[in-house]
């Protein structure tokens, strides 16, 4: 009866009402994952479950028994930041910083989705391999609101990381 977060096991919560988000922030003390709306409307709580990004606010922790969760803390640290984290700093891809962990988790998963050939609403030809145009990045990142308006810089950071990986 445990959830694995960034490779570490945590016992399931007693109260089945506990959202995965509250579980991360409270029980696991991993406050990098943010609560912006608690209703799947902002993306600040984005984490990866088995490599897929989800809104952790709309998922009950108890349903994640045995799942592997990756949060922002799992993507890098102050002493060893990940490439996407460094790119966000380099391009000023944030201002207040509150949506940022969600943006970075989302961007990380998004590059994997593109690599897997998944189409998006911005994909012209559904049967072709999608390419990483700015329009594709913007559509695929639209589940992460940024009220400070750092969007152009976020796109630049993602472009940068994708270019380095390509």
Partner 1 sequence: MSVHLKQDQPDNRNVLDTMVQGVIGAALPRPEGLMKVTGTASYAAEYDAEGLLEGVLVTVPIVCGEITMIDEASVLGMPGVVAVLSDERMTGRPAQGMAGEAPFQPAREVRYWGQPVALVVATTFEQARDAAKHLKLQWRVEDAPLDPKTAETEENESTRVGDLAHAMADAAHTVDVVITTEGHASAAMEPHAALAQWDGKALTVHASLQMLKFNRAELADSLNLDESQVRLLSPYVGGGFGSKLGVSQEVVAASLAAIQLGRPVRVVMSRQQVFQTIMRRSETHQRIRLAADAEGKLTGFGHEAQVSNLPGEDFAEPVLQSSQFLYAGDNRLLKLDLARIHRMTAGSVRAPGEAVGVQTVEQAMDMLAEKIGIDPVELRLRNIPEKHPAKDKPFSSRKLAECLRKGAKAFGWEPRPRTPRHTREGEWWIGTGMASAARVHSVVEAKARVILRPDATAVVETDMTDIGTGSYAILGQVAGEMLGLRPDDIDVRLGDTDLPPGSGSGGSFGAASCGSAVFLACDGLRKELAKRLDIASEDLTLKDGVARWDGGEKALNEILGSEVIDCVGHFEPGASTEDVTVSSYGAFFAEVAVNRWTGETRVRRMTGAFGIGRVLNARTARSQCLGGMTWCIGNALTESLHFDPVDGHLANCDLAEYHVPVHRDVPDLEVLLIEERDAAASPIQAKGVGELGLCGGAGAIANAIYDACGARVLSYPMTPDKVMAAMPKV
Partner 2 sequence: MRPFDYQRAERLEHAAQLTAEANTLALAGGTNLVDLMKLQVETPQTLVDIGRLPLGTIADEGEGLRIGALATNTATAVHPRVRSEYPVLARAILSGATQQLRNKATTGGNLCQRTRCYYFTNIDQPCNKREPGSGCGAIKGIARIHAVLGASDNCIATYPGDMAVALAALGATVEIASERRSRSVPVRDFHRLPGDTPEKDNVLEPGELITAVTLPAPVGGIQLYRKVRERSSYAFALCSVAAVIDLAEGRFTRADLAFGSLAHKPWHDPRITDLLVGSEPTLALFDKAADLLLEGARGYGENDFKIPLARRTLAAVLCEATGVEP
Which chain residues interact with partner 2 by CB under 8 A?
A: 15-17, 19, 38-40, 43, 46, 52-55, 58-60, 62-63, 106, 109-110, 113, 116-121, 123, 126-127, 138-140, 142-143
Name 120's bridge partners.
none
- Asked whether position 2 contacts partner 1 by CB under 8 A, the answer is no
Which among 3-11, 78-86, 111-119, 125-133 is the span making contact with partner 1, rule CB under 8 A?
Answer: 78-86
79-85: long-range contacts, CB 8 A cutoff, minimum separation 24: 82/108, 83/161, 83/164, 83/165, 84/108, 84/157, 84/158, 84/161
The interface partner of residue 109, options being partner 1, partner 2, none and the CB cut-off 5 to 8 Å by kind, is partner 2
Q: Does 89 bind partner 1 (CB under 8 A)?
A: yes
The residue (of 39 and 79) whose beta carbon lies closer to partner 2 is 39
Per DSSP, which regions of the chain are E strands? 2-5, 8-11, 46-49, 52-55, 68-70
DSSP track, 44-67: TTEEEETTEEEEGGGSBGGGGTT-
Q: Which is nearer to partner 1, 82 or 115 (CB)?
A: 82
Residue 118 structure tokens: 């998944």
Q: How many residues does the chain have?
A: 166
Token pair of 91 as six digits? 């391009």
Report the interface residues with partner 1, using CB under 8 A: 15, 17-18, 22, 25-26, 29-42, 44, 71-73, 76-78, 81, 85-86, 88-90, 92, 94-101, 104, 122, 134-135, 137-139, 141-155
């Amino acid at each position: 009866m445990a959830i694995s977060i960034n490779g570490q096991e945590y016992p399931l919560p007693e109260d089945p009402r506990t959202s995965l988000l509250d579980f991360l922030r409270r029980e696991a003390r991993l406050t990098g994952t943010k609560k912006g709306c608690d209703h799947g409307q902002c993306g600040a709580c984005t984490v990866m479950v088995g490599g897929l990004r989800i809104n952790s606010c709309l998922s009950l922790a108890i349903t994640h028994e045995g799942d592997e969760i990756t949060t922002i803390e799992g993507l890098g640290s102050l002493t060893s930041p990940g490439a996407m984290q460094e790119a966000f700093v380099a391009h000023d891809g944030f201002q207040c910083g509150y949506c940022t962990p969600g943006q970075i988790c989302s961007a990380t998963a998004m590059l994997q989705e593109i690599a897997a050939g998944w189409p998006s609403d911005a994909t012209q030809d559904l049967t072709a391999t999608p390419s990483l145009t700015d329009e594709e990045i913007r559509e695929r990142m639209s589940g992460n609101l940024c009220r400070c308006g750092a969007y152009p810089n976020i796109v630049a950071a993602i472009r940068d990381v994708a270019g380095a990986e390509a």
